[in-house]
Chain A
Amino acid sequence: MSETLSGADMLVRALQDEGVEYLFGYPGGAALHIYDAIFKQQKVEHILVRHEQAATHMADGYARATGKPGVVLVTSGPGATNAITGIATAYMDSTPLIVISGQVPTWQIGTDAFQETDMVGVSRPVVKHSFLVRDCAEIPRTIKTAFHIATTGRPGPVVIDVPKDTTDPAITAPYDYPESVSLRSYKPAKRGNGRQLRKAAKALIDAERPIIYSGGGVVQGDAGPALTRLAHRLGAPVTNTLMGLGAFPGDDEQFIGMLGMHGTYEANMAMHHADLIFAVGARFDDRVTNNPDKFCPDAKIIHVDVDPASISKIINADIPIVGDALSVLEELDPLVEAELGKQPERSEAAGKAWWRQICEWRDAYGLDHVMKPREDGIILPQQVIQSLYRATGGNAYVTSDVGQHQMFAAQYYKFPEGRRWINSGGLGTMGFGLPAAMGVQFAYPEATVACVTGEGSFMMNMQELSTCLQYGLPIKVICVNNQALGMVKQWQDMQYGGRHSQSTYSDSLPDFKTLAEAFGHVGFRIDHTGDLDAAMDEAFSAKLKDKVVLVDVWVDPDEHVYPMAIKGGSMRDMYLNKITTSQQGDYM
């Protein structure tokens, strides 16, 4: 005989049965029955945020750091719409999220009732799936199905819209939590096709100029070690996308940096000149390919992705493989080993020549060449990241916001493994960094968590400093302060004749040091290279281990991010600094 519970109690019990640790949310009228059910239990801890957008980013950060789904609870109307940006962020970067939204009672739906929004309709283009609960008895199965869909295949956010009457404490139904669900219309592929795998193994061995291009799918699939093993077996260069950083260790000698719009010179050149591109869990995003018509003219393409719709969407794949990154890489490794055994005479010379070429590129225009430290003590944003990397020994979880600081962090922090670098790559959501860092810190209370942000992004969700105080989250906020919307300004410098339309506000910025103090935290302000390392060391010192520290670093406002892809060109077409492009030199 199963227990009989109200919809609200069932909902909370189902979250317990899913092993949910944290529920990030904000109460309101339509969700109050659920909040009362939360009050009566201790297993699921509710985290009270200051804005619903931040709740979704926290859940997202938690999910990206752990691989477990992040769970959000908001009320109807504005609570639900405030969550949309966070849902869209998770959708674009394929993170598993469960967003439970209160809804007006069933009989009021469609009447333009107070705080009514068609949440299923509003969220439809940015969710993997959504549910509108029609009866309290549906709640256990709906929640089980939502978790199943969010976490399998290509992960993504799932919305459950819960009308208030379905959580009414006076209406009860039997509670039976299903152990598993099976949907006839949803069966994601896991294993790659055997014939395609054998073709891929042969192509990898036959290639003279191979490159491994791995993306967020390898991080999400926890396939980093499998990728690393295969890459070491092949001896091929590896480049990671913005979303894939860390999946292959950033300090490995086969790593040639990030690729794409702000990728390294050597990574973009190697892509362009490759004869084989092995793409795993990456989606040939426009920020990677530049002009698809000019993309990598000599390359044969192997494309592994769990989502069939990502394959041949932008660039046609010669060997498409639909499957989970981990499963495909694990099955491919012995095939590659066997192929290597069959061709012991396989030319080492070709591999050596390819690496020699890549090293030449790196020596000519690698990141060290791009950055020119200043003599006058003005800090460059790149130096902030280098200092952070040094102070944390490369072992921090680093979240970022969106803009120049994000690209500098991606370029200069070498991540040792996946899930260490957490940023909004697809949607590019400013305001993501701080709440995402908080989600990471909830997951790993003892870990060092740094949020690299800019003063523009930071001001989009800085109210969460209050939440940090409430829950004792010792985030270290590194604010790369260039007193402007740096990336917008860079584009205006490069494409709009230096007309800085609405991208500067230097006379109206708050004092971030006292701002941090007002929220009960510690703040520093640094504006000279001589003070940078000491401030960074202090921020990460044992003395301040339990404190939020906001390090406001004033940097050169005129620095640009380079390399930068030249619009409409191929991957080898880049601006290398303010005066040089790759097209001008004898670069090959």
Chain B
Amino acid sequence: MNRKLSLLALPYAVWLFLLVVIPILIMAVYAFTTSDSAATLENFTDMGIYASVFVRSFRLAAIATLICLLIGYPAAYFMAGEGSGFQRVALALIMLPMWMNFLLRTYSWMSILENNGLLNQLFQKIGLFSLLKIEAFQMLRTPGAVTLGMVYNYLPFMILPIYSVILKLDRQLLEAARDLGANSAQVFLRVILPLSLPGVLSGVTMVFVPSVSTFAISRLLGGGTQMMLGDLIEQQFLGGAYNPHLGAAISMVMMVIVVLCMALMNHFGEGEEQAVML
């Protein structure tokens, strides 16, 4: 019976092997060879010149994740405490942007943040610029714009797992804490927060991983001034700097760092079944 059922997993296993395992192996081969197919470690030793890109990628992704957490946790917490009607509407509103094309959403932010975009026009109308004696706020092509793009695009992935964990919390545990003398702040800090950590961990994973490897957001909102790992890798394969061997090596290093980060976080999550890798 079980063996028959396990046959059903076969198509997926084949799929996984052909489209995940083999490509990673090919990438590994590329990373450790030169264009003459000779084995080398040069791709890794050469990577030092891109250290700033690594730092920027991880820094911006970390900042975006932190902001998502600071916005997402309270949002999820209050949502879970409201009536089911409110929850349905709030969930729909959170999901709504995700039904629109990712590039379209990011382009929209360009037209909002541009020097003669919506925001700056608004500031001009209310006379802010004549007051400050400047032409416009430079918002596009800044690290802030890139971070904003990440937060905007990935915030739902922070809210949803935290929300579902808090929603499933046993209300009786909260009553028990109050019964034992905890005031509202203590109930939160000593019961709700520790018990919602699994949701926080998976939210952090789901925001951090795509943020660190994004290239569209940094290209569109950073305008080329905020090169991130995703852009760098893309350039090695499609762009002018064509060097798939280096691109593969950078990808591998990024993958290893991300896996390490996740492993570290799972370690603190102590056996909670959450924080899966994407």
Determine if chain A interacts with chain B. Answer: no
Give the interface of A toward B (CB within 8 A): none
